[in-house]
């Protein structure tokens, strides 16, 4: 009985770590990215945080390191601007291809239309971002370009 209680405690201790990463649907992942760009609570209005916990929750392993690495960048790639006042964000799955799902996010940022394609993968912990494509480049290329 004691061993069973020990095993249950071990699994209970591991559960929160697994639950921190990923999302249940591709749409919920993108919706949660843009929840950080609103006019609401101060902690949710400063853009997507660059800390390790947020990186683990939203990005696959290679992109996690790039997202959290120190860098100097001229604007926030996720809103294509150094500042934001977003209009409604429309989110739609546009393609499922092998192990990747492509989700389009369209919104207005201070009168300028923005369209991004999120490239997502579904792993054991849920949906994660493997890249984001704009009309000009991708998040991976952007982060590499402005790395310190």
| pLDDT tens per residue, range 105-144 | 999 999 999 999 999 999 888 999 999 999 999 999 999 9
CA distance 87 to 121: 27
Strands in 100-109's sheet, in edge-to-edge order, are 90-97, 100-109, 112-123, 126-133
Tokens of residue 114, six digits:
């923005």
- The per-residue pLDDT string of the chain (148 residues; one tens digit each, 9 = 90 and over) reads 444 333 333 333 333 333 456 799 999 999 999 999 987 666 667 899 999 999 999 999 999 999 998 878 899 999 999 999 999 999 999 999 988 999 999 999 999 999 999 999 998 889 999 999 999 999 999 999 987 6
**Tokens 């947020």, residue located:** 54
φ, ψ of residue 61 to 5 degrees: the values are: -55, -50
């Amino acid at each position: 009985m004691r061993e069973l209680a020990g095993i249950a405690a071990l699994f209970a201790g591991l559960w929160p770590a697994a639950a921190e990463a990923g999302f249940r649907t591709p749409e919920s992942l993108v919706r949660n990215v843009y929840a950080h760009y609103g006019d609401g609570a101060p902690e949710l209005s400063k853009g997507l945080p660059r800390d390790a916990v947020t990186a683990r929750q939203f990005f696959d392993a290679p992109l996690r390191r790039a997202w959290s690495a120190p860098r100097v960048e001229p604007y926030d790639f996720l809103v294509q601007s150094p500042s934001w006042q977003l209009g409604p964000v429309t989110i739609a799955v546009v393609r499922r291809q092998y192990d990747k799902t492509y989700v389009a996010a369209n919104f207005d940022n201070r009168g300028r239309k923005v369209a991004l394609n999120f490239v997502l993968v579904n792993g054991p912990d849920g949906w994660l971002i493997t890249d984001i494509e704009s009309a000009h480049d991708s998040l991976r290329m952007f982060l590499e370009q402005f790395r310190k």
